[in-house]
Copies of this chain bind each other. A is one copy, B any other.
Amino acid sequence: MLQRLNHVALAVPDLEAAVKTYQATLGANVSAPQALPEHGVTVVFVQLGNTKIELLEPLGENSPIAAYLAKNPKGGMHHLCYEVADIAAARDHLVASGARVLGNGEPRIGAHGKPVLFLHPGDVHGTLTELEQV
């Protein structure tokens, strides 16, 4: 089921400071910030040779990363996103395996415009896990 690692998402309290670190200190290729108000984040992509890191800063009220940053004020690793070929088949297999899909249990359109679902971290040994159909 799992194919490529699509991205690693890191929550940061200050995107401008994080961009500076990844560009100047770590010498990485960093995109311009993109505000995604419907997803409650501003995102920057750190492009690596084989995958990407997404730096996420909260945007607006009810950001999905606000609770994480309240617990981890310096920021940190928020979730992993794996690619799958068929998200409906993935959902069916996960539910049959006893894993909990967050929200209403159905895939929704994610920040990249593709169908995604999130698994409860309690069912994946503490790691918030996203699946994206590519």
Contacts and interface: CB of A to CB of B under 8 A. Distances in A.
A1 B26 contact: yes
A28 interface: yes
Nearest to A94: B25
A5 B76 contact: no
A46 interface: yes
Interface string A94-127: 1001110000000000000000000001111111
Interface residues of A, number: 48
A69 to B, nearest CB: 9
A87 interface: no
Contacts of A46: 2
A34 interface: no
